């Protein structure tokens, strides 16, 4: 009991009424959930929605520390839960539903960033929000970014940009780098691949450029689905429209590492027998982007 009480009093929140004492809360806090975070379990629906809107809590799938994967240096990457798209090639369908994530207090997240601050500064790293779709929870993400900037920590948003309208110009100011997924070069292909629209991605890229932000474009190369020369040309032209903001383009070869998750979740997997690209195809696509003057990884 005393352990539970001391854990509970360690919480700080801007809306203390959210925390409800319950056996379920204690069980999940002490035995499960996100390693390293104490979650406000036991909120009723109304509390959750209110806290989500203000960013007092965020629903998080998981987090990790990595180097040079999701931005420069050593990074804390936080995978937010919830995504409005349904990409055929998604590697993380377990992040699609926001309710499957764990609620985490804003202040717990900011404390975690502060704890790694020296590592970030020594390595040129920082915090990256990924997903799922990081822009599903704009209040939480942008408040963590605001706090990170006050600590002089580098910020990176990994997004498809589909929820462009969720982000205000003020929020964009606190993004140092955006990993922007450009999944297809035309609306028709984008719709088939993701179920969504391409226009918001383009709009978000242009807004980032107007705010002098850096962009690393990510493009998943899938034989028969995204490899058509005209598709690659269209993506190159979209990148050009970002007005010099694109530092490089990552050509990511499709792989099947996500397949077991589709099976576990019993979601029909449309790319069950899809192969990855050959070395020749990767070379051709890289050269196409390079012909437009882009650095390609
Ligand atoms: S945007 Fe990302 S998380 Fe969402 S469905 Fe597509 S690949 Fe999956």
Domain limits of the chain? 3-290
Q: Does the beta carbon of 92 sit less than 6 angstroms from any atom of ligand 1?
A: yes
3-state SS class at 279: helix
Q: Which residue's alpha carbon is at the smallest distance from atom 2 of ligand 1?
A: 132
Q: What is the CATH number of domain 3-290?
A: 3.20.20.70
Taking only the tens place, the pLDDT of each residue in 248-260 is: 999 999 999 999 9
Q: Does the beta carbon of 160 sit less than 6 angstroms from any atom of ligand 1?
A: yes
Give yes or no for a contact between 226 and 190, defined as CB atoms under 8 angstroms apart: no
Taking only the tens place, the pLDDT of each residue in 8-61 is: 333 333 333 333 333 443 333 333 345 556 556 667 788 888 899 999 999 999
Q: Does the beta carbon of 95 sit less than 6 angstroms from any atom of ligand 1?
A: yes
Measured in Å, residue 21 CA sits from the centre of ligand 1 at 35
Element (H, E) at 283: helix 279-291
Element (H, E) at 74: strand 74-80
Q: How confident is the model at residue 227 (pLDDT cuts 50, 70, 90)?
A: very high
Compute the distance between CA of residue 107 and CA of residue 130 in angstroms, rounded to an integer. Answer: 19
Q: How confident is the model at residue 1 (pLDDT cuts 50, 70, 90)?
A: very low
Measured in Å, residue 159 CA sits from the centre of ligand 1 at 9
Q: Output the CA torsion 86→90→92→98 (10° steps).
A: -10
Neighbouring residues of 7: CB distance < 8 A, sequence distance ≥ 6: 29, 30, 38
The residue to mutate among 78, 85, 194, having the most atoms of ligand 1 within 8 angstroms of its beta carbon, is 85
Compute the distance between CA of residue 86 and CA of residue 84 in angstroms, rounded to an integer. Answer: 7
Taking only the tens place, the pLDDT of each residue in 123-161 is: 999 999 999 999 999 999 999 999 999 999 999 999 999
3-state SS class at 75: strand
Q: Is 109 exposed, middle or buried (0-12, 13-18, 19+ CB in 10 A)?
A: buried
């Amino acid at each position: 009991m005393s352990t539970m009480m001391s854990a509970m009093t360690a919480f700080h929140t801007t809306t203390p009424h959210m925390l409800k004492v319950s056996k379920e809360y204690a069980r999940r806090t002490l035995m499960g959930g996100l390693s390293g975070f104490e979650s406000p379990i036991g909120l009723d629906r109304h509390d959750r929605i209110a806290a989500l809107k203000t960013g007092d809590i965020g629903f998080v799938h998981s987090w990790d520390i990595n180097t040079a994967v999701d931005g420069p240096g050593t990074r804390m990457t936080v995978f937010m839960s919830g995504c409005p798209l349904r990409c055929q090639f998604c590697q993380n369908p377990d992040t699609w539903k926001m309710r499957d994530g764990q609620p985490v207090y804003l202040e717990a997240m900011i404390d975690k960033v502060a704890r790694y601050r020296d590592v970030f500064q020594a390595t040129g790293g920082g915090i990256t929000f990924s997903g799922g779709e990081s822009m599903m929870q704009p209040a939480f993400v942008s408040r963590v970014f605001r706090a990170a900037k006050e600590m002089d920590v580098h910020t990176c948003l990994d997004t498809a940009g589909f929820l462009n309208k969720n982000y205000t110009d003020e929020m964009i100011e606190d993004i140092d780098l955006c990993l922007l997924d450009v999944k297809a070069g035309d609306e028709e292909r984008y719709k088939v691949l993701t179920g969504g629209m391409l226009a918001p991605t383009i709009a978000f890229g242009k807004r980032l450029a107007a705010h002098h932000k850096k962009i690393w474009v990510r493009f998943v190369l899938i034989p028969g689905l995204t490899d058509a020369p005209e598709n690659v040309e269209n993506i190159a032209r979209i990148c050009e429209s970002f007005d010099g903001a694109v530092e490089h383009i990552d050509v990511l070869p499709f792989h099947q590492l996500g397949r077991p998750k589709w099976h576990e979740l019993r979601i029909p997997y449309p790319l069950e027998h899809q192969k990855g690209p050959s070395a020749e195809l990767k070379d051709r696509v890289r050269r196409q982007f390079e012909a437009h003057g882009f650095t390609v990884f």
